[in-house]
Each structure stands twice: as C-alpha cells, then as structure tokens.
Amino acid sequence: MKEKYFPAEIEEKQQQRWAEAKVFEVTEDPARKKFYCLEMLPYPSGRIHMGHVRNYSIGDALSHYQRMNGFNVLHPMGWDAFGMPAENAAIKHNARPDQWTFENIAAMRAQLKRIGFSYDWRREIASCTPEYYRWNQWFFIQMWRRGLLYRKNATVNWCVKCNTSLANEQAEGGFCWRHEDTPVVQMELEQWFIRVTNYADELLDELDNLEGGWPERVLAMQRNWIGRSQGAEVEFAIAGNESEKIRIFTTRIDTIYGANAVIVAPEHELIEELIASGQASDGLKSFVEKQSEISREERLAEGAEKQGVPTGLFAVNPFSGDELPVWTANFVLTGYGTGAIMAVPAHDERDFEFARKYGLPIPRVIKVAGSDEPDDAPVEAPFTAKDESGVLINSAQFNGLTVPEAIKIMTEYAVQRGFGRPQTNFRIRDWGVSRQRAWGTPIPFIHCPKCGIVPVPEDQLPVTLPADLNFNTQGAPLAEHASFVNTTCPNCGGAAQRDTDTMDTFVDSSWYYFRYCDPHNDELPFDPEIAAYWAPVDQYIGGIEHAVLHLIYTRLWTKIMRDLGLLSFGEPVRKLLTQGMVCLATNRCEEHEWLSPNEVIDGKCKFCERPVTIGRVEKMSKSKKNTIDPDEMIREFGSDTVRLFMLFAAPPEKDLEWDDSAVEGASRYLARVWRIVYKWHDKLSNAAEGEASPAARALRRKTHQTIRRVSHDIADRMNFNTAIAALMELTNEIYAFDNSLKDVSNATSSDRFALREAIESLVKMLAPFTPHIAEELWQGLGHNEILVASPWPQFSEALAKEDELEIPVQINGKMAARVVVAAEASNAALEQAVLNDDRVKAKIGGKQIAKVIVVPKRLVNVVVK
RNA sequence: GGGGAUGUGGCGGAACUGGUAGACGCGCGGGUCUCAAAAACCCGUUACCUCGCGGUAGUGUGGGUUCGAUUCCCACCAUCCCCACCA
C-alpha cells in the first residue's frame, strides 16, 4: 500500500479487477432476491455531461449498496440512439448517421467505463440496431391486429425545424420540445396513432398505487396531463330542422335550465355546412376566416378576449323546450368534447363574461342552499360550486335537488328520453407516432393499391433502414429511396409501396429496460419468464423533464405488453427518483457574450479584459457555456472525488450547484481517509476484543451507530448526503481516538480491535460512493476478496447503545439545563435527577411546579407557575 | 385561473413519528509543526449584549393548537415548476 492517495493509479487498476472477476455480471437466480436499478438511458450525443454523471452516481451508489446487502442487482446501460442530431450531422458533414452514432457511443462508453460504474456491459443495447428496432416493428404489428394502432387523417403539430410532426406531449405550450423558440404549426396529415384513450382511465387510476414511490409532483403532472372530466353529452335539435342535432358536452347538466345559448367552435362542421350552403352571413364568414388564420399562440397571446358571432340558427333545449341562439366563438375548442357547449352564464365564469359582453340574458338556476335571496335576483358573479352547497331553482321538476343529485338524476332523465348520455372526456389524446424522418424505426406496413394497408409478415422483420440514404434533399430521404419504397404486397403479390414514415423515438425508450432483461433474444422482445424475475424496475432514476413524456408512454406500453401476454403487471416502475439538475453561475461579457469559467480571469474577460457580469445559477448548458467537463474533473481529482462531491453536496432530488472548493473538500476528505488507513493498515493484526478502555468502547459505539445510520439513510431514504456526513463524523472519531493514543506503540490489543472495526467498517461503507479508493484500501488492509462483492457491515444494537444520556431540561418549554443520567434510568429516577439539579432548582426559584413532562430518553419539561 | 413544490447562518445543507435548531462540509479566524510557505493536525465560527460566567432574539410574514412547533392547522408574502378559454 502506498503512502499517498493517487486516484489515477488506483482507479483503472480496480476497474480491471472488477471486470476480470465479472462482479457486475448477473443472471436470473430464483433463490436470490433481485433488485432492478435503472437510470434513464442517454442519447449518444458524443460526450457525457455532469448531469449524466450525477444520475449514474446516484444509481451506482444504490446498486452497490443493494449488491453488498445480498441482492442480485440488475444494473444495465444502453443508448437511445435514434433521433435528429444524427440526421443533422449527416446533412451538415455528409456523414452517415449510423457511423456518427456508433462513434459517439464508443466515446461515451469509454467515458462511463473510466468513471467505473457497476454496469453489466453484456446487456448493453442501442435502439438503432436492427436487433433492437425489429421489436418496435413487431409491437406495431401486434398493436395493429388488436386495433391499438390505427391510421387517420388529422391535424397534427408540425415543427418546421425538425421538419416532422410531433405528439401533443412534444408540443409543450405550442412550442417544439427540442426547439423552445420554434412555434408548432398545425398541419393536415395522414398519421399513425396509438390508441392511448383505451388506457386513459387505467393510466389515471393507477397513479394512486404509485403514491409514496413516485414524487408527488410527477403524479400531479400526469393527472393534470391525462385530465379526466366526467359529464354528459346532450343533443340540442335545430329549430325548424329537428332531424339535425348539435351535440354538446357538459360537466354541469344540472345547470341546463340556465342555458342562454349554444356555442360551437369556429371549426365545427355546422359552420362548414352553413358556409357551404351559402346560409352564412358575411359577419360569420369573416369571423371564421379570421380565426382560422391566427395561430394557437396568437389566440392565447391576444389576452384571451372572448369573441363570437351569432350563426342565425336556433337550437331547442331538450329539457325546457326553450329556443336558444346558436353562436360560434373563439373560446370553444375543436378537438375537445364535441366542439360545442351550452352557455350557462350564471354558473360559469367564461359564459358569464361572454354574456356580459354581448348582452345576453343571465338566468339563474342554482342558489346557495338555505339562502332566502329571491330566485330572480340579478347575477353579480357566477356561482360555480359543484357541491351540496348549491340547490336547483327555476328547473321544473328538478327544483330542490342539490347539485350532485341533480347531475345524476338529470343525466338518467336524458338517457331515458334518448337525447343524452353520460360521457367521460380526457385531455390526453391518442399518440401520434409517425415521424417524417429517416433516422428512426421504419414503420412495418405496406400500402397496396388492391389490399390497402398490409403489415409486413413477421418472418420478414426487421424492415431495415437503407445504409445509402441521401440526406441532402428537400424531401424525405426514405420516401426518395426507390429500392426501399418499392416492394410487393405480401397479400396479393402485386406491386406495392412501403410506408415511409418512421416511429417517434419515444417508442424506443418505452420498453428498453425489458430488453435489458433478455437482450439477445431473437424470438421475442424478451422472454416473459426472464422479465418476470427482473421486472418491474425497483428504482428508476432520471430527470423531471420526462414526467409527462417518457414516463406516460412507458406506463402505457407496459399495459399494452401486459395485454399482449408478455407481462403479468401493468406498472413498470415501483420507485421513481427525479434527480435535480447540475447548475453553475453564468458569466457574460458585453463583447464576447457567454463565457466559460476558464475564460474569466480575475473577474475580467480573457479576450478583452472587460469586467464580467455574473449571471444566475442555471442548469449547465453548452449554449450558456456554464459547463464543467467530467473528463477534466476526473483527470484532476479522480472519479471517486467527483462522485463524492455530487452525492454529498445536496440530496439527490434537489438542484446541485457546482462548487470547486467543495470538490477540493471532497478530495481532501478521501486523502484524509487514506492517511489514517495507511497509518494503521499493517498494525491491526493480533487484535482481540478483550477489556476495552472507555475511549475504545466509545469508538466502537460510534462505529455501530454509524453503520445503523448509513444503512437507514441509503436504503430507506436515498439520502446519500447525510450518509456521507455520518461517515465523515466516524472518520473524525477515528482521528480523535488515534490522537488520544499519542503513539502507535501505545495501542493495546483491544484498542487495535476497536480501530480495526472502525476502519474496516468505514472503508466498506465508502464502497457505494467511492468504490475505487474503498477497494484499494480494502486490499491494503490485507483482504484478497473483492470489496464491492462482499457483505455490508452489520451493526449490533448492544454496542450502539449509549451508557449515559445527556437529557435536556426545559422550564415552561424553554431550555434551562442538561442533566446526565444512566441510559436505563426510569422516568421517576429521571424526574428526581432533574428536580435535584442545582441549576434547575435555582431557575425554578420559589415558583410552584404545576407538572413535569418526561419524554423517555429525550427530554424533561418542568411546568411552573 | 387550477395544481404541485420550496423558503433554516456568509454559502451547500442537517434536525428520525412535535422534544437540545444549525450535524457534516465549504468559506473565514486562530493555534501547532516549519528558517519560511504549502500540506497536515488541533481549536473556534447564527446574531446581539458580556472580559468571562451567562443572557436575549432567532428556521419567509402574521395568527392558532400544544407543557413544548423548523415540524401540525389557518391566512399571507416570495421564488420555481406543470397545466391552462378543456365546457
């Protein structure tokens, strides 16, 4: 063992030992408990960044801990390898996207191996390989057969930069998820869709079961996104043409006697008919035209002012028989519900605003239960409560019912009379999965002029991407590749054409971690029996940005796989941790804009010496140049130091600010551990438990308390920061003990026993966080077995127990004194000790003791008057 | 507008189910060692008053519950995130 800590020398050496011993390679073993620890797979952009390092350091710490605790730990890594950057590289540098991608993968894999994460590399997958994406195609065909995949002409989100359509989830607030400055435009296109709505109820309801294992905000975001709303559809006949109906959706059928209008979206088919048949007024035509011209963002940006025009038609309220004017207005949306509503101004904010603006009547039909306000009192503000506080008035035979009763009874009434029915609507839509890109999974269908859409026979999968695509084209490279497109129909044998869309890359990541379970299977995506052993994932770790993207898709896909008979469960992830971002302050120079940390010298710009403005602490990003390169840090300090810093500086779910001094602190700590182990490593043999000095007993107590605390902090809370703090405390105790001995030769056998126990426990417990130095020190202590495959230390309650306790004493809840008592002292003895204490007596003085509250082993509060 | 989260020293953060607020680390100050410096080791570090013993205040703000509140309840303020004319 060397005297000084040189990370570069030991890290590679220990990585080789692990690789040779295959300690991270696992197979199914029904006799052992499994633990599946998963980190979100990266896109192979070319370089690992600090966000990755943090994510994988968290997962690695947990994996090591569970492995040392006897679990059969599956800890894999792979590449989400399809997507736009490869295509952009192909266009820009005339490269091949597959070559570009595989070069990046090689570079990043080498980086991950240098950091020494405990992956089973035999299970590595890349989603751009035919061995992988063939199963995407297989899934599509299974889904097609079950009606879960379909094709329809639809208005889709289109990003002009990506030059492709996007799912709703990828068009956040009207902007492309990859180009935050690029508004999404709407486009008519025939597309492939996955029938998410079949699973909407289940996707929502099962979120309740994830409570406790998933962060509350992710659950809230998913609930929000799925957006279930229960109500009813009601048909209003058009006056004078009773065979024609307008179907409206409402969650408040109880307010229907208060409707003053029916309002349809400007895109509603009724409007189209009116325009087509020449019945539309000029005002209506120009209004509709204007609405179609302005984009979604412009509509929202215009301050959301409500605008509408009457259509000239009237509709009959099926409950009251009233004829209501039919309007069209900008705030009624096509694509949600039926694209038509009834307006009830007295009980809806929007309808109230609209009625005021256009001078429509505002009849009230609900009032506060028990109020003696007259039923025809003018409405000052809409009354929208949907609970028992509202009672129906002005509603014929339904008067007197509470709102919830009325909703139920009036819906039933509508069903009986045949003009309505209960209806549940969702905000979530079917998933548009076609992309007009070339670097993705080809959609395995053939368009035959005679037979229509025909799936590629399963024994002809995969449909592979041609290697010689031409990316320097205005159009779609796949569609222009004649030998790819032109084929024969598997059904009739006639000439036919392949589908030229590719799949959304979120398909790839929807099921990849099941493939890790059985990565080389060439008959199925995975063997259901093998998956049944490893899955579901016990702990998943990744960024919050996937809360409503990947994490909804993968829950959906799991349910589909269950229905295909591949799985026996529908929720893929037991526990989810959304780790915080890695942040750094930005620097800005007037002349040279964003500056990287090493372009700032003494607060001045390196290039022009102008003073630099320090900006906000933000997520590390290339564009703002506030990044720290993991490779540089690891070269300077070693992988262990970088990991230790990241795990110690903040709890995993919080944002982490990079701090050079704190990194040095982490490095200093490891050197400090090294020195004390070096000092004793060859002097701890022949130690016996024997009669221990008080100091040795105290050290043993600290050791066992630390084992208890660290185990709890990792396993039950994933609070690595406090676990590491506990290890630092133990280290300080070891130093104090070492100092108290003055000289190595003073140590008795039992002193050395206590020291050995403390030092060996410390080294073992460092293994999850800083595996290389721990492994090296373990060897230095004379152990031949591999530490990261050795058992976690166990603590003894008896040794962890304190002999004496220092009990705080309060007088009327304020801190007054401390008394030392035996740990076993009874409540009565404790109370007696407190009341006999001179300081306590003095503080009580002449006051009378009203009562004494004794919290065993914790505190005594004397209440005086 | 609806929903979710966060708020503790100079800084990152501790405080388990209501029980000694500030663990651990960074930074800062002091000491030991040294010709000197670095490193290392040791001590101190919420604020205010006090030479010291000690005292007072203190976990965004204002209330409440309790013997006792960073922790529970109510209202408010600030910051961040998600959804948003969704009927």
Structure letter (DSSP) for residue A437: -
Average pLDDT over residues A496-503: 95
Protein CA at A761 to nucleotide C1' at B24, angstroms:
19
Protein CA at A174 to nucleotide C1' at B57, angstroms:
52
Give strand letter and number of the nucleotide nearest A224 (CA to C1'): B83
Instruction: Identify the CA nearest to A753 among candidates A682, A797, A700.
Output: A700
Give strand letter and number of the nucleotide nearest A736 (CA to C1'): B42
Sequence-ordered list of residues with C-beta below 8 angstroms from that of A163, at least 6 positions apart, any chain: A436, A437
* Rounded CA separation A847/A863 (Å): 10
Angle at A350 between CA A345 and CA A353, to 5 degrees: 70
Q: Return the nearest residue to B4, CA–C1'.
A: A217
Name the band, by pLDDT with cuts 50, 70 and 90, for residue A765: very high
List the single range of A131-145, A289-303, A496-510 with lowest mean pLDDT. A289-303
Instruction: Work out the number of other CB atoms within 10 angstroms of the CB of residue A22.
Output: 11
A370 φ/ψ sector (left φ>0, alpha ψ -120 to 50, else beta): left
Give strand letter and number of the nucleotide nearest A810 (CA to C1'): B68
- pLDDT (0 to 100) of residue A377: 86
Give strand letter and number of the nucleotide nearest A739 (CA to C1'): B41
Give strand letter and number of the nucleotide nearest A217 (CA to C1'): B4
Per the model's pLDDT, the better-predicted residue between A615 and A318 turns out to be A318
Name the band, by pLDDT with cuts 50, 70 and 90, for residue A643: very high
List the single range of A45-59, A61-75, A187-201, A560-574 with lowest mean pLDDT. A187-201
Q: Return the nearest residue to B12, CA–C1'.
A: A649
Locate A206 and state its tokens: 């099962």
* Rounded CA separation A792/A571 (Å): 31
Give strand letter and number of the nucleotide nearest A216 (CA to C1'): B4
Protein CA at A644 to nucleotide C1' at B46, angstroms:
28
Q: Return the nearest residue to B81, CA–C1'.
A: A217
Strand partners, A860: A809, A854
Protein CA at A385 to nucleotide C1' at B75, angstroms:
22
Sequence-ordered list of residues with C-beta below 8 angstroms from that of A506, at least 6 positions apart, any chain: A167, A170, A549, A550, A553
Protein CA at A3 to nucleotide C1' at B83, angstroms:
59
Give strand letter and number of the nucleotide nearest A168 (CA to C1'): B83
Give strand letter and number of the nucleotide nearest A660 (CA to C1'): B26
Per the model's pLDDT, the better-predicted residue between A691 and A47 turns out to be A47
Place of tokens 């309220």: A317
Nucleotides of strand B under 7 angstroms from a protein beta carbon: 2-5, 12-16, 19-21, 23-27, 39-43, 67-69, 81-87
Q: Return the nearest residue to B2, CA–C1'.
A: A224
* Rounded CA separation A326/A323 (Å): 9
Structure letter (DSSP) for residue A612: P
Q: Return the nearest residue to B85, CA–C1'.
A: A331
Q: Return the nearest residue to B23, CA–C1'.
A: A725
Q: Return the nearest residue to B3, CA–C1'.
A: A220
Q: Return the nearest residue to B11, CA–C1'.
A: A659
Dihedral of alpha carbons A331, A333, A337, A342, sign: positive
Protein CA at A349 to nucleotide C1' at B52, angstroms:
69
Give strand letter and number of the nucleotide nearest A250 (CA to C1'): B87
Share of chain A above pLDDT 90, in %: 66
Average pLDDT over residues A858-865: 88
Protein CA at A742 to nucleotide C1' at B34, angstroms:
21
Name the band, by pLDDT with cuts 50, 70 and 90, for residue A304: low
* Rounded CA separation A18/A775 (Å): 10
Give strand letter and number of the nucleotide nearest A547 (CA to C1'): B82
Protein CA at A668 to nucleotide C1' at B28, angstroms:
18
Q: Radius of gyration over alpha carbons of chain A, in Å?
A: 35
Protein CA at A674 to nucleotide C1' at B15, angstroms:
30
- pLDDT (0 to 100) of residue A296: 56
Q: Return the nearest residue to B40, CA–C1'.
A: A672
Protein CA at A824 to nucleotide C1' at B18, angstroms:
24
Judge contact between A360 and A345, C-beta under 8 A.
yes
Give strand letter and number of the nucleotide nearest A221 (CA to C1'): B82
Spell out the SS3 assignment of A112-141: HHHHCCCCCHHHCEECCCHHHHHHHHHHHH
Per the model's pLDDT, the better-predicted residue between A595 and A144 turns out to be A144
Q: Return the nearest residue to B20, CA–C1'.
A: A808
**pLDDT single digits (tens) A165-200:** 777 777 766 777 777 777 777 777 889 999 999 999
Instruction: Identify the CA nearest to A32 among candidates A74, A70, A75, A76.
Output: A70
Protein CA at A739 to nucleotide C1' at B41, angstroms:
9
Average pLDDT over residues A239-255: 92
* Rounded CA separation A770/A748 (Å): 31
* Rounded CA separation A793/A797 (Å): 13
Protein CA at A575 to nucleotide C1' at B8, angstroms:
29
Place of tokens 């710490």: A61
* Rounded CA separation A123/A639 (Å): 23
Protein CA at A721 to nucleotide C1' at B61, angstroms:
31
Protein CA at A12 to nucleotide C1' at B36, angstroms:
39
Alpha helices in A418-492 (DSSP H): 482-485
Instruction: Work out the number of other CB atoms within 10 angstroms of the CB of residue A742.
Output: 9
**pLDDT single digits (tens) A687-721:** 888 888 999 999 999 999 999 999 999 999 899 99
Protein CA at A301 to nucleotide C1' at B2, angstroms:
19
List the single range of A91-95, A121-125, A137-141, A648-652 with lowest mean pLDDT. A91-95
Give strand letter and number of the nucleotide nearest A304 (CA to C1'): B85
Protein CA at A88 to nucleotide C1' at B58, angstroms:
58
Average pLDDT over residues A28-56: 95
